[in-house]
Amino acid sequence: PPAGSPPHSTTASLPQHGDRGFPLAAAAAAGRAPPRPRPAAAMQFMLLFSRQGKLRLQKWYVPLSDKEKKKITRELVQTVLARKPKMCSFLEWRDLKIVYKRYASLYFCCAIEDQDNELITLEIIHRYVELLDKYFGSVCELDIIFNFEKAYFILDEFLLGGEVQETSKKNVLKAIEQADLLQEKTETMYHSKSFIGFKKAY
Amino acid sequence: MDSVKQSAALCLLRLYKASPDLVPMGEWTARVVHLLNDQHMGVVTAAVSLITCLCKKNPDDFKTCISLAVSRLSRIVSSASTDLQDYTYYFVPAPWLSVKLLRLLQCYPPPEDAAVKGRLVECLETVLNKAQEPPKSKKVQHSNAKNAILFETISLIIHYDSEPNLLVRACNQLGQFLQHRETNLRYLALESMCTLASSEFSHEAVKTHIDTVINALKTERDVSVRQRAADLLYAMCDRSNAKQIVSEMLRYLETADYAIREEIVLKVAILAEKYAVDYSWYVDTILNLIRIAGDYVSEEVWYRVLQIVTNRDDVQGYAAKTVFEALQAPACHENMVKVGGYILGEFGNLIAGDPRSSPPVQFSLLHSKFHLCSVATRALLLSTYIKFINLFPETKATIQAVLRAGSQLRNADVELQQRAVEYLTLSSVASTDVLATVLEEMPPFPERESSILAKLKRKKGPGAGSALDDGRRDPSSNDINGGVEPTPSTVSTPSPSADLLGLRAAPPPAAPPASAGAGNLLVDVFDGPAAQPSLGPTPEEAFLSELEPPAPESPMALLADPAPAADPGPEDIGPPIPEADELLNKFVCKNNGVLFENQLLQIGVKSEFRQNLGRMYLFYGNKTSVQFQNFSPTVVHPGDLQTQLAVQTKRVAAQVDGGAQVQQVLNIECLRDFLTPPLLSVRFRYGGAPQALTLKLPVTINKFFQPTEMAAQDFFQRWKQLSLPQQEAQKIFKANHPMDAEVTKAKLLGFGSALLDNVDPNPENFVGAGIIQTKALQVGCLLRLEPNAQAQMYRLTLRTSKEPVSRHLCELLAQQF
C-alpha cells in the first residue's frame, strides 16, 4: 500500500481509569516529553545572582555533585542574563522549566519540573522576597550578602524539600523570630548586621 | 505543634522520594489522609504534597482523599477574601493550597461518586467564572495567583477530558489569553492549548484560533513564545489546515533559531507526509526544507522522500523535474545534490525527452556539483552515473571518461576508488542486458514505521508524535534502509516455550543442510526441565528478516557503513591464549564450569551431549561496571574442521552492561571424527579499548563418547579384533594428580566411557568401553588403564578402529590423570 494516510483521529491516548494518572498525557502531541514517572521535587533548585553574574544564594533540592552544581549554575546564569527585559519569565532549559524574576539588582531563578505550575512559582519567588523584605526591612542585595544565613533560614521555613510548606507570612516570620530569640539566648550576641566571612554552600 | 506537623510531613515526603521502600505506609495511610481535614492551613498544604506523591504509587490506598480534597477546594474557592486571613494572598484565597489540591486531583480519574463529582464541576466552573470578573487588584501578584489557579484548573479539565462544555470554556479562556498583554500569559496559553488540541472535544475549538497562533509565530519577540506557537501549530494540524500550517512553518523556518531548526524540519516532514493528498506537494515541501535549512535536514527526512517517490509511480516524473530545476540554482545544498542525484539516477529517463533536461544536460548538471561534495555524496553520484550509462547509452563515453580519470581510479578514499573501478569495468564488460538487469529500477520499499517519527521521539522523549501515529507501529521499529536492528533478549529467564521459538529462527547461511534436521532432533533430545533460555533475537524479528526482500541496491547499502563484518576466519583472529590448552583440558571430563576468567570477563560453560549432538551454553559475565560495546563472540573452525564438526551459534547482544551476564547458545553436531577443537573468539570494546581473546572451545571428540556396557568375553573378543598395531595407542606416563581410585573412576565416566567390572583380572585396573557417535560413522572404543601406585605412573591402552582416533583419545585421556 502506498504511503498515503488512512483516516486519522486526533484523539491522543488518554490515561485509562486505574492509570497512574499522569496529567497532560496529551502534552505529547506538542512534542514535549511527558512527565517522567519518578517522583519529582516541585522545585529542583533556586539560585539568586546579581546582574554581574555573581551568585548570592543557592538552594538545591536534588542531590548533585559540586561539579555539576557549578556547571548548571554557570550555564543557567549565562542563559538568564542573556534574556531581554520584555521576554517572558519562563524558559525551557535542558529538561526543566526555569522561572525567573528580577528584583532590583538580583535575579531570582527557580527550576521546576515539567508538570509544575509556572505562575504559582513566580508567586513563590514573590512571597520569598516579601518575607525577606519584612524581616530585613526594605531588603536590598547587601542585606543578603551580609546575612545570607538568615536568608537561608527564612527560605527553609517557607519551602521544605522543594515544596511550599507554610504560606502564611505571619507564621513564617514568627518562626524566624523564635529561632532568633533562641539564638540570642545561646550566643548572647545581639543581632546585628555582622559580616560572616566564610560563605557556605547549602 | 502545627509547624512540627507540617515540617514532618514534608520531611517524610523527601525521605520517601529518596527511598520509597523504607517508608511503611500501611497504618499511616488513614492518618495522612486525615491531615487534609486539619484546621491549620499550613499543615494541609504540606500534607497535600505528601499525599500527591504517595498516591502515585498506591492510588487505591489513598482514594479517600479525593472527596476530602474536593470539599476543601470548594470551600476555598467559594470563600470570601477575608475568610482565610493570613492565607489570602493579594485577595486570592490560599492560592498555593488550591493549586496543590488541583494537582492532587490530577492523579485520579474523575470522581465516580455523583455528589463529589457535582461539587467538583461546580467548583471548576466557579474558577472559570471568576476569570471573567474584573480583578480585585491591579497588582500583578493578584493576577498571577488567580491565573495560576485558573491554569491548574484547565489542566485538570484537560486531564479528565470528559466534560465537553468545560473543555470548550477552557479553550475559549485560553483563546483570550492568547492575545493578552502579558507575555507570560500568552506563553502559558499557547502551552496549554497544545494539550487541548489533541482532545477530540476541543480540537475543533482550538483550530478556530489558528490565525492568532500564526500571527504569534510571526510577531512574537520572545523566541520561547514563538516556539510554543510552532508546537501548537503542529498539534492542531489536520487535513483541513495542513497546507496552510506547513507553509507557515516553512516561512518560520527561514528565520528560526538554529537550535530549534532540526526539530522544525522533522515536524514539517512528518506533517507533510501525513497530510499529503497530493504527493507533488509533499515533494515540493521536502525540497523546500532542503533549500531553506539543508544543514538540519537529517538523513531520515530525505531517505523518506526517496522512499515515497520510489513507491509512488505518479509522482516520479514530477520529482525528477522539480529536482532538476532545483539543482540549477547556483548555490545548492549538498542534501539537494544527494536527493537529486538519486532521483535522476532512477527516474531521469522520465524527463529526458525534453531537450532542456536531456541526458547530457542532466549529467553535466550533476557533475558540475561533483567536486564540491563530500565523499558520501560523490559515492552516490558515481552510482547515479552508472545508472545513467544504463539509461542513456549516449552518455556512456563521457561517463566512462570520468570514471577512468585518475582522480577516481586512484582516489584516496577506498569507497570511491572501488566504485569507480567496478562501475568502469561493469560498463565495459557487461552486455546491455546484464547491465539493465543489474541497474534495474529500485523496487518499492516495504512499508515500515517512519523513521522520522522515531527520530523525533528520540529527540523529544517518548511521548512526542504519539498523536500522529496511526498505530502502524511494527513490533520492531526498523530503520528504513538498514536491516532489522537486533534487539536480542539475552536475559536468561528459562521458559519452556522459548526453546521451540528459538529453534524456529532462521539457520545461519553457513550451516550444513543437516542442521535444520539437527534442530528438530534437539527438540526431542533436550526435552523437559532443562533450562531453555530465550535465544538471541526474538522470533518475530528473525521471521521478519526472512520475509523482507533483500533490496539489491538500496541507497543505504551504497552510502552507509559496510555491512556488518562476516565472522572472522581463522586468520583474522589472534592465536589462542597461552592457557587455552590447559583450560581445554579441564573440560575434557566435565561439562560445566568456568571456562575463562580475567579482570574484565568471566566465561562460564554448561553443556550436554547426546549421541552425536551437543548443546553448549556460554555465559559471558561482565565483571566491570562499564558496559562492553560491540561484544561479539564467534566460533571459528580452523582448517577443515567445518566438515567434521558443525557448530551453530546465535548472535548475542552487542552491548553487555556492567555486572550483567549474557548467554550464547551453541548447537553442535559431530559429523565425523575430529581432532582439533573449534576456537572461540571474543571481541569487544571496553572503555574504548578493543579487547580480543581466543580460546579453545571445550568440544572434544570424547564428548560424543557413548558408554557401552558389555560382558567380559565380549570385551575380550572385540579387543582381539582390534589387534592391528595402528588401531592401538598406548601411553605410559607419570601421574600428575593423586592416584585416587574413586576420582579416577569419576574421570573415566566423565570422559564418556562405561566402566566395566570384573573384566580385568587385576581389580586395580580400569576397563572401559564406548562408541564415538558421529553422523558419518561410529567408532567403537576400548580402553584399559593400569595404575602403578608405587611408581606413581599409569599405563593407558586404547583400541579403536581408527588410528587417529586412538591416538587422540589417548592423548586427551592421559592428561587427565
Tell me the residues of chain A between 71 and 130 that have a Cβ less than 8 Å away from chain B.
84, 86-92, 95, 117-120, 122-124, 126-127
- Within a domain: residue B430? no
pLDDT of residue B504: 35
* Listed residue (B417, B379, B361, B751) closest to B559, CA to CA: B379
DSSP codes of every residue in B584-641 = HHHTTS-SEEEEEE-SSEEEEEEEEEETTEEEEEEEEEE-SSS-EEEEEEEEE--TTG
* Confidence band, pLDDT 50/70/90 cuts, at residue B449: low
The cell numbers describing B665, all together, are: 547458545
- Within a domain: residue A145? yes
By the 10 Å C-beta count (0-12 exposed, 13-18 middle, 19+ buried), B112 is classed as: exposed
SS3 A159: strand
- Within a domain: residue A103? yes
Average pLDDT of the residues in B276-291: 88
Phi, psi of B754 (to 5 degrees): -85, 145
Q: Of B97, B152, B231, which has the smallest distance from its Cβ to A31's Cβ?
A: B231
Q: Is B485 left (phi over 0), alpha (psi -120 to 50) or beta?
A: beta
Q: What is the dihedral of CA A145, A151, A153, A158, to 10 degrees?
A: -160
Q: Quick check: B86 and A89 CB within 8 A?
A: no
Nearest CA-CA distance, residue B557 and chain A, Å: 22
Average pLDDT of the residues in A48-75: 94
pLDDT of residue B156: 93
* Confidence band, pLDDT 50/70/90 cuts, at residue B739: confident
Q: How many domains, in total, are found in chain B?
A: 2
Average pLDDT of the residues in A67-81: 94
Average pLDDT of the residues in B625-654: 83
Over the Cα atoms of chain A, what is R_g?
A: 21
Strands (E), B671-777: 679-686, 689-696, 705-707, 728-734, 754-755, 766-773
- Helix B359-370 and helix B396-404, axial crossing angle in degrees, nearest 10: 20
- Within a domain: residue A4? no
Average pLDDT of the residues in B103-117: 91
- Within a domain: residue B666? yes
Q: Quick check: A126 and B141 CB within 8 A?
A: yes
- Within a domain: residue B665? yes
Among B665, B681, B699, the domain boundary falls at: B699
B150 with B127: CB under 8 angstroms? yes
- Within a domain: residue A163? yes
Q: Quick check: B49 and A12 CB within 8 A?
A: no
Q: What is the dihedral of CA B203, B207, B208, B211, to 10 degrees?
A: 160
- Within a domain: residue A177? yes
Average pLDDT of the residues in B661-674: 84
Q: Tell whether A3 lies on the interface with B, counting CB pairs under 8 A.
A: yes
- Within a domain: residue A137? yes
B779 with B771: CB under 8 angstroms? yes
Per-residue pLDDT tens over the stretch B347-376 = 988 888 888 888 889 998 998 888 888 999
* Listed residue (B558, B552, B563) closest to B375, CA to CA: B558
User: Based on the domain organization, do B628 and B651 belong to the same domain?
Assistant: yes
Output the CA–CA distances (angstroms, integers) from residue B756 to B739, B768, B787, B798, B813, in the order listed. 19, 6, 16, 15, 17
User: Based on the domain organization, do B694 and B721 belong to the same domain?
Assistant: no
- Within a domain: residue A7? no
Count CB pairs under 8 A between chains A and B: 240
Q: How many CB atoms lie within 10 A of CB B145?
A: 29
A71 with A17: CB under 8 angstroms? no
In which residue are the cell numbers 534574556 written?
A83
User: Which residues have a Cβ under 8 Å from the Cβ of B334 and sit 6 or more positions away?
Assistant: B294, B372, B373, B374, B377
Bridge pairing between strands A55-60 and A43-50: antiparallel
CA gap B587, B700 in Å, rounded:
9
User: Based on the domain organization, do B690 and B779 belong to the same domain?
Assistant: no
The cell numbers describing B16, all together, are: 520517601
Q: How many domains, in total, are found in chain A?
A: 1
User: Based on the domain organization, do B606 and B671 belong to the same domain?
Assistant: yes
Contacts 24+ apart (CB under 8 A), B321-326: B321/B350, B321/B351, B321/B357, B322/B280, B322/B283, B322/B284, B322/B287, B323/B287, B324/B351, B324/B357, B324/B362, B324/B365, B326/B287, B326/B291
A24 with B154: CB under 8 angstroms? no
Among B699, B734, B751, the domain boundary falls at: B699
SS (HEC) of B429-492:
HCCHHHHHHHCCCCCCCCCCCCHHHHHHHHHHCCCCCHHHCCCCCCCCCCCCCCCCCCCCCCCC
CA gap A156, A150 in Å, rounded:
10
User: Which residues have a Cβ under 8 Å from the Cβ of B72 and sit 6 or more positions away?
Assistant: B36, B37, B44, B97, B101
* Confidence band, pLDDT 50/70/90 cuts, at residue B573: low
Over the Cα atoms of chain B, what is R_g?
A: 38
Nearest residue on chain A to B112, judged by CA atoms? A17
Tally of residues, chain B: 817
Output the CA–CA distances (angstroms, integers) from residue B80 to A100, B76, B83, in the order listed. 31, 8, 6
* Listed residue (B371, B382, B286, B269) closest to B335, CA to CA: B286
In which residue are the cell numbers 571424527 written?
B673
pLDDT at residue A7 is higher than 80: no
Residue span of the structural domain in which B690 resides:
578-699
> Among the listed ranges A134-143, B80-89, B543-552, B611-620, which one has the minimum average pLDDT value?
B543-552
Average pLDDT of the residues in A61-82: 94
User: Which residues have a Cβ under 8 Å from the Cβ of A189 and sit 6 or more positions away?
Assistant: none
Q: Quick check: A31 and B465 CB within 8 A?
A: yes
User: Based on the domain organization, do B671 and B710 belong to the same domain?
Assistant: no
Residue to test with chain B: of A22, A24, A84, most B Cβ within 10 A: A24
Per-residue pLDDT tens over the stretch B766-788 = 888 888 888 888 888 888 888 88
Per-residue pLDDT tens over the stretch B382-440 = 999 989 988 888 888 888 888 888 777 888 889 989 988 998 888 888 888 888 888 88
CA gap B347, B320 in Å, rounded:
6
Residue to test with chain B: of A160, A169, A172, A182, most B Cβ within 10 A: A160
The cell numbers describing A140, all together, are: 536590598
CA gap A170, B86 in Å, rounded:
7
In which residue are the cell numbers 545508472 written?
B387
CA gap B398, B404 in Å, rounded:
10
- Helix B334-347 and helix B359-370, axial crossing angle in degrees, nearest 10: 150
Nearest CA-CA distance, residue A166 and chain B, Å: 5
Burial string for B461-497 (b: 16+ CB within 10 Å, else e) reads bebbbbbbeeeeeeebbbbbbebbebebebebeeeee
Among B641, B674, B699, the domain boundary falls at: B699
* Listed residue (A90, A124, A96) closest to A40, CA to CA: A96
CATH number at residue A175: 3.30.450.60
Write down the pTM of the prediction.
Answer: 0.57
Sign of CA dihedral B489, B492, B493, B499: positive
CA gap B753, B588 in Å, rounded:
12
Nearest residue on chain A to B471, judged by CA atoms? A8
pLDDT of residue B461: 54
pLDDT at residue B148 is higher than 90: yes
CATH number at residue B691: 2.60.40.1230
Q: What is the mean pLDDT of chain A?
A: 77
DSSP codes of every residue in B54-76 = HHHH-TTTTTTHHHHHHHHHHHH
Residues of A in contact with B109 (CB under 8 A): 15, 17-19, 21
The cell numbers describing B292, all together, are: 531553506
- Within a domain: residue B142? no
pLDDT of residue B572: 60
- Within a domain: residue B803? yes
* Listed residue (B87, B72, B89, B191) closest to B145, CA to CA: B89
Average pLDDT of the residues in B465-477: 37
- Helix B299-311 and helix B279-293, axial crossing angle in degrees, nearest 10: 160
Sign of CA dihedral B381, B383, B386, B391: negative
pLDDT of residue A188: 55
CA gap A60, B556 in Å, rounded:
48
- Within a domain: residue A170? yes
Q: Quick check: A28 and B467 CB within 8 A?
A: yes
Residue span of the structural domain in which A170 resides:
45-192
pLDDT at residue B509 is higher than 80: no
SS3 A133: helix
B452 with B266: CB under 8 angstroms? yes
Burial string for B35-71 (b: 16+ CB within 10 Å, else e) reads bbebebbbbbbbbbbbbbbbbbeebebbeebbbbbbb
pLDDT at residue B513 is higher than 80: no
Bridge pairing between strands B645-649 and B661-670: antiparallel
